[in-house]
Each structure stands twice: as structure tokens, then as C-alpha cells.
Amino acid sequence: MVTVRERRPAAHTPSSSTAVEVARRILLPLTLMALVTLGLGLLLTRVLEHSSLIAQDEAVSREIAQERTPFWNTITHYGSMLSDTPVIIVVTTIMVVIFRLVYGRWRESVFLVAAVCAQSAIFLLATVFAQRARPHVQHLDPAPPTSSYPSGHTSAAVAFYCGVALVLTLHTHRHTILKALWWVLGAGAALTVGLSRLYRGMHHLTDVSWGWVLGIFCVFVLAQALLIRPVMASRRASSKRTANEAAPA
């Protein structure tokens, strides 16, 4: 007698389900943001290059350049330095080590590195295909080879400083004053960098504005996937264990 073995549907392995989850929660939204960023850049440089929007962008830069003073030149010099590439690399490395040592795990460190790298990748993609000239004013900083759109300094500042603020907020969620302090410092640093780049003639207003949007988006997507969902799940499990232990036998 010939026996026919019953075929069972292949079960999803943990690795495959994890890959699908990563793609759905991280790769897909970041890919969409990259396409939107690139599309907006091409719109600004290929379609709207002679529009009133571009003219207004240049007018804002000229008006700011005419109001420069030695005091604000110095202030914005240090404000811009907060997000220079070597600075971001060094401070990110430092915070990765601190988070690992303080929290005893890699989750927070991986989130911070992922947020910084994600915005950088999208920024570099846009600068390659949508090369926008910098404002036609005196530049107070050396112009890097990348284009004006979007502001990489701004998106990196949001990713790092707001990313750090978010991590600290999640670990001090019961202390309102500390939470406010983290966001005043984090958002304040990101805002300072963007305004400094605008003041120093390195980017148009639209470049800086989209830099803020890009940084916020990367922080939000990666925080949802790597920080907030695991933290909330951990808290629910802890509350459930506490409730079970308190329940009468």
C-alpha cells in the first residue's frame, strides 16, 4: 500500500515574519518619503524654477542677507556647527555608547543610528537627482558639494537632537518637567540649526522647511517601529503581571 503524505502549509518562520514587519513598518514608509522628497526636488528645479515660489525663496534669502550683523554671524556660526557632519557622527557615537550602558540593551542605540542614517540616505538621494543651486547671496560657510535641497544639516539635527529627546522622554515619562526640558533642548537645537543655515545663505526657506519635515518623519517612523511599540508592549506586560500577582489565588 502506498501512503500519501499529507502536505502541510509551510509555517512562517520568525525570521520571515520579522522581515515582513520591518519592511511594512520601516522600509515602505521611508521609501515613500524618499520618492516624495525626490519628486518635490524635481518639481522645484525642473518645473517651478521660474515660478513666484522660487522668486519668493530668493527674496527671503536676500532680505535676511541684508540684515546680517557681526553678532548674529557669530551666533549662527555655532548654531550651524551643531549639525556639521563630523559633529553629528561624534555625538551620535557617544549617545549610542551611553544608551547601551545606561539601559543595558541596544534598542535605543539602534533607533538613534537608524534615524540619523535614514534621513542622510534620503537627503543624499535628493541631492544627486534634484540638484538645486544655493541662494544667490553671500555664503557665510564653505559650500559642500551637495545641492541646496533639502537641508541636510537641518534633517540631521532633527534626527539626532529630537531622537535623543524622544528616548529620554520615554524613560522619564512620569516627570513632566524633565520631558519638557528634553524637548526644549532637542527641538530648540533643530530649530537653531535650520534658522542658522537660512541666515548664513546656505539654503532657501523651502530647503530648510523640508529638512525639518524629513527629519521629523524619519524619527516618527523609526520610533514607532523600534521604540514606542516595544515600550508600550513591555508596559502592558508588566501591568498584566502586576495585576495577576495582586489577584487572590
Task: Please say if the pLDDT value at position 118 is more than 80.
Answer: yes
CATH code: domain 29-232 is 1.20.144
Share above pLDDT 70 across residues of the chain, in percent, rounded to a whole number: 83
Given a contact cutoff of 8 angstroms between Cβ atoms, the answer to whether 29 and 221 are in contact is yes
pLDDT of residue 24: 78
- Residues 47, 221: Cα–Cα separation, whole Å: 30
Q: What is the pLDDT of residues 149-187, one digit of tens each?
A: 999 999 999 999 999 999 999 998 788 899 999 999 999
pLDDT of residue 21: 72
**How confident is the model over 1-6, as a mean pLDDT?**
50
- The answer to whether the Cα torsion of 160, 147, 121, 233 is positive or negative is positive
Task: Please say if the pLDDT value at position 244 is more than 70.
Answer: no
pLDDT of residue 73: 97
Q: Which residue in 88, 81, 41, 51 sits closest to 213, CA to CA?
A: 41
Q: Is pLDDT larger for residue 231 or for residue 24?
A: 24
pLDDT of residue 232: 57
pLDDT band at 5 (very low <50, low <70, confident <90, very high): low
C-alpha dihedral, 140 to 142 to 148 to 152, nearest 10°: -100
Task: Please say if the pLDDT value at position 49 is more than 90.
Answer: no
Hey, where are the domains in the chain?
29-232
Q: Is pLDDT larger for residue 80 or for residue 146?
A: 80
Share above pLDDT 90 across residues of the chain, in percent, rounded to a whole number: 74
**How confident is the model over 64-75, as a mean pLDDT?**
96
Given a contact cutoff of 8 angstroms between Cβ atoms, the answer to whether 37 and 216 are in contact is no
Task: Please say if the pLDDT value at position 74 is more than 70.
Answer: yes
Mean of pLDDT over the chain: 88
Task: Please say if the pLDDT value at position 16 is more than 70.
Answer: no
Task: Please say if the pLDDT value at position 213 is more than 70.
Answer: yes
- Residues 49, 62: Cα–Cα separation, whole Å: 17
pLDDT of residue 140: 94
